[in-house]
Amino acid sequence: MNTTLYFDEVLLLIEALPSFHTDELLLANRKINLCTPSMELRRLFLPSLQHLVVNKTDNQSELTIWYVEEKDLKQKLKAPPWTGFNGQGYNASLNQEDVQIFFQPWQKQLFLYSKSKKTGIYWVSDSHFVPWWECTFSFRIIFHLWTQDLPAQLVHSGAMAKNGEAVLITGKSGSGKSTSCLNLLRAGYNYLGDDYVWVELSDTIKVYTLYQTGKIETENLEERFSDWKPFIINKQDYLHQKAIFDIKNLYPKSFVSSAVLKAILLPTVAYQEYTSFETASQIKALMAMAPTTLHHLPHNRTNSYNKMIMISSKLSSFDWLLGRDFNQFISSFDVFISNEITNN
């Protein structure tokens, strides 16, 4: 069996569903249909994308995502009949030109995407087995696979904006990326994401908010964001997961759907009193952006890498040396935005 036949078998099972619910989304002016018979899965996956939901239209969908659990189907789904899937869910021995598979055999979930059908499928054996983190970046794998034929790329970065102009904030885990974004959110800046964002490539590079879900480690929550505790979504579980927040509900005035990207910031915890900015090279910006993005998104890595080269080549880049003084952190960012971004 090849990957296309396997996909068609799975889709046939799903299309036999007697009923299902459809949510219509709009992302970067593209219509997406999310279809599921499972209200429990909808409860888990829709919140991170709720801000993209629109009233139903007659416009042609550019992506359809089916998401189901085992009990929804009339017969048991066969597991992918191949060995050789690696830790990132990729199998280099398969021909995946049209249909791509993301499968980690030790987990009880499966992602499929067909380029020709512009259709993604998510299956999980039972809603109780959905990893908690999947609900904070719903269908990230499928969105990434969709972008291979689009002038767009998912990027492991945050993005903050003011007056329609944004900076991409990127770096490895522990660099201060998410904390910096959330501190700027509290200071009145517009939030487009602190983990993954959608970047649209054209003469003008734009960033779109994909997820409005913030995640904070317990220690960081206690130290810097303890006043947010009443708004934790996963109150029963945050001590052994991360504290999860609906940013659009928490700070409704911070929401914008898109902004023009003007620069890339590379945060580093500098163990100094005051925050400062220094010009950085395009290569350094690329190396801050690409490795974790490509690690999380296993297919089409060359294509994605080339898109990130384009992003880093078109934008100015800066090392962002994060200091301890919070007030100066905010004031220095205000000055940076005014001098380096707004005036250029």
Whole-angstrom Cα distance, residue 302 to residue 259?
26
With a CB cutoff of 8 Å and minimum separation 6, the contacts of 191 are 160, 181, 184, 185, 209, 212, 247, 251, 254, 255, 256
Q: Is the pLDDT of residue 342 over 70?
A: no
Name which of 80, 63, 89 is nearest 3 in CA terms: 80
Averaged over 322-343, what is the pLDDT? 89
**Backbone φ, ψ for residue 269 (5° rounding):** -70, 110
When pLDDT is averaged across residues 245-256 and rounded to a whole number, the result is: 96
Q: Within 10 Å of residue 274's Cβ, how many Cβ atoms?
A: 14
Whether 114 has a pLDDT exceeding 90, the answer reads yes
Please tell me the pTM assigned to this model.
0.94
**Alpha carbon distance 221, 278 (integer Å):** 29
What confidence tier does 246 reach under pLDDT thresholds 50, 70, 90?
very high
Please, which pLDDT band fits residue 298 given cuts at 50, 70 and 90?
A: confident
Alpha-carbon span 98 to 219, nearest angstrom = 44
What does the domain layout of the chain look like in residue ranges? 3-149, 153-212+255-342
- Mean per-residue pLDDT for 283-294? 94
**d(Cα 112, Cα 104) in Å, to the nearest integer?**
12
Task: Give the model's confidence band at 106: pLDDT under 50 very low, under 70 low, under 90 confident, else very high.
Answer: confident
**Please, which pLDDT band fits residue 344 given cuts at 50, 70 and 90?**
low
What is the chain's mean pLDDT, rounded? 94
Band of the pLDDT at 343, cuts 50, 70, 90?
low
Q: What is the pLDDT of residues 54-90, one digit of tens each?
A: 998 888 999 999 999 999 999 999 999 999 999 889 9
**Per-residue pLDDT tens over the stretch 208-241:** 999 999 999 999 999 999 999 999 999 999 999 9
Convert the pLDDT of each residue in 137-146 to its tens digit.
999 999 999 9
pLDDT above 80 (res 326):
yes
CB 92 within 8 A of CB 100: no
| 153-212+255-342 belongs to CATH 3.90.1720.10 | no
Q: By C-alpha distance, which of 187, 168, 335 is closest to 253?
A: 187
* Distance, CA of 11 to chain centre: 25
At 210, the amino acid letter reads: L
How many Å apart are CA 304 and CA 155, to the nearest integer?
9
- DSSP line for 281-343: -HHHHHHHHHHHHHHH--SSHHHHHHHHHHHHHHSEEEEEEEES-HHHHHHHHHHHIIIIIIT
Residue pointed to by tokens 């889709």: 11
Q: How large is the average pLDDT for residues 6-19? A: 95
User: Distance between alpha carbon 43 and the CA centroid of its chain, in Å?
Assistant: 18
> Among 106, 105, 99, 109, which Cα is nearest to 134's?
109
